[in-house]
Chain A
């Protein structure tokens, strides 16, 4: 018994983590509105979800904003990180502290800061402010992911490229960028998830009629709405499939590679 105690503990912790997820999936197939009594199987909440325009729009905005915010923050973040790696210490420190401020600030403080900023400057809140806010909070994480890769980079490589007749732009494009690709990729992944998951900042900077999934869920829980369960189930399945693929594909590739090596 004592030997199994750690395993039992671990199982209980995992149960705690997965209980609400299982619960949501289960009740998304419920026949009635109830969140405590399972009265029978039905797909009506899925139907209702697809018929609900605000809900479908919230999914659309979440994905579109996450995609654009990722692309833009990766471009600005990569350019800045490369510049930073060549900058003087003072500038490095300044930008580092500024990024820390952005990342360590409680979300709600960042959120009200941006809200005050947009409203004071008479910028109408809505899609553009939501997108801009997401780009603003994603960039520091992109820079954070790329900097370690740049530190490992041999300075002479870019110098060599210039000596061999590359323009600075070509040196950047053909030598530096390919070497820091893993960092850029990790940054893109972080940016995408940060944007996809964000609630607090979106809640304060969005305008009327523009919702992402988080703000939609928040605004619709005042009354019980089982379609949220259906929406959650679809997110759960989507995320699980993506994560399994992301973890399984490298293993399969590796196996194939080792097989090929053995055959040779």
Chain B
């Protein structure tokens, strides 16, 4: 069957060309001076300095992180009880509920966000509140599904054992159910925080032109201002910030595991 090994060769080449090279090109552009061609290659750190020297850019970065962070917290606070309640229903009702939650996800994100625009048009809410509603709306289903999956796979014997050993239902939840569902929460966080940081159409459609997040900056520098070098530097900074956040979240997960052991 070793002959089948050769089947990966086309995709190996494909991946290098269409996945790796574009990523390397972003890095390359971020470190190159504006307006020179690929051939002259004048390297510089100016694009990064420009970002950190201007308080407006830092403000936008911090705002994006804050919005993504609060969105994630709200999604956990609403998503966990929802998943928990669903997991306690009869199996047939559970399936219907999961279907009802995933159904809106099949309808175009843009279309759903567009609908919120109409609903919130005369609500008098601040742009920031509108953006929160749009973000929670778009990303909450991911959180619910992730937590529901871990809760429904959980071995119910642990709960029975806990109550047999004298836990009341509250203690059983805090000491058994919650710790066992942490992996679901963690993967939920990944699925909410990551797209929330980089989202750019939600703030644009719901926040009006004045509410700018880091995704909007990238969009502007690539499509309107035509300054790819600076745009590439911003997206590199964003990627690094996201990687650090994910690293911290994963650490949290491991500490929990050690605690349980």
Between A27, A83, A218, the greatest number of chain B beta carbons within 10 A of the residue's beta carbon is seen for A83
Contact residues of B between 210 and 242, Cβ < 8 Å to A? 215, 218-219, 222-223, 228, 231-232, 235, 238-239, 242
Shortest B206–chain A CB gap in Å is: 10
Cα distance A142–B104 in the bound complex, in angstroms: 23
How close is A24's CB to chain B, nearest CB, in angstroms? 4
In-complex Cβ contact of A20 among B5, B26, B115 (8 A): B115
Selected interface stretch from B8-16, B154-162, B170-178: B8-16
Chain B's nearest CB lies how many Å from the CB of A140? 8
Bits for B81-112, please: 1 = Cβ < 8 Å to A, else 0: 11001101000000001011101101111111
* B interface residue count range (under 10 / 10 to 19 / 20 to 34 / 35 or more): 35 or more
Interface contacts (Cβ under 8 Å), in number, total 206
- With A17-B100, A23-B115 in contact, is A117–B22 under 8 Å at CB? yes
Contact A19 B21 (CB under 8 A): no
A-B pairs with beta carbons under 8 Å apart, 16 shown: A16-B137, A17-B141, A24-B114, A35-B121, A76-B14, A86-B1, A95-B11, A105-B23, A106-B195, A109-B23, A109-B26, A113-B22, A113-B25, A114-B22, A204-B223, A235-B108
User: Is residue B56 within 8 Å, beta carbon to beta carbon, of the partner chain?
Assistant: no
B198 within 8 A of A: yes
Cβ-based interface call for B153 (8 A): no
Chain A residues whose CB sits within 8 angstroms of the CB of B108 once the complex forms: 196-197, 199, 213-214, 217, 232, 235
Give the chain B neighbours of A68 by CB distance below 8 A.
none
Distance in angstroms from B118 CB to nearest chain A CB is: 4
Distance between Cα atoms of A241 and B222 in the complex (Å): 39
For the complex, give the distance between the alpha carbons of A219 and B110 in Å.
11
Q: Are A116 and B22 in contact (CB under 8 A)?
A: yes
Tell yes or no: A128 within 8 A of B by CB.
Answer: no
**A contact residues, range:** 35 or more
Q: Which A residues, 159 to 198, have Cβ-Cβ distances below 8 Å to chain B?
A: 159, 162, 168, 172, 193, 196-197
Query: Pick the contact of A107 from B5, B86, B112, B198 — CB < 8 Å?
Result: B198
Partner of A36 from the list B25, B106, B121 (CB cut-off 8 Å) is B121
Q: Which residues 229-245 of A sit at the B interface, judged by CB distance below 8 A? A: 231-232, 235-236, 239-240, 243
Alpha-carbon distance between A239 and B25 when the two chains are bound, in angstroms: 38
A197-240 interface (Cβ within 8 A of B): 197, 199-200, 204, 213-214, 217-218, 221, 228, 231-232, 235-236, 239-240
Residue pair A10, B111 in contact (C-beta under 8 Å): no
Query: How many whole Å from B205's CB to the nearest CB in chain A?
Result: 6
Task: Assess whether A120 is interfacial by the CB under 8 Å rule.
Answer: yes
Residues of B within 8 A of A (CB): 1-12, 14-16, 18-23, 25-26, 29, 38, 78, 81-82, 85-86, 88, 97, 99-101, 103-104, 106-112, 114-119, 121-122, 137, 140-141, 194-195, 197-198, 200-201, 205, 215, 218-219, 222-223, 228, 231-232, 235, 238-239, 242
Interface contact B232-A116, CB-CB below 8 Å: yes
> Which chain A residues have a beta carbon within 8 Å of chain B's beta carbons?
6-7, 9-10, 13-14, 16-21, 23-24, 27, 35-36, 76, 79-80, 82-88, 91, 94-95, 98-99, 101-102, 104-110, 112-117, 120, 132, 136, 139, 155, 158-159, 162, 168, 172, 193, 196-197, 199-200, 204, 213-214, 217-218, 221, 228, 231-232, 235-236, 239-240, 243, 247
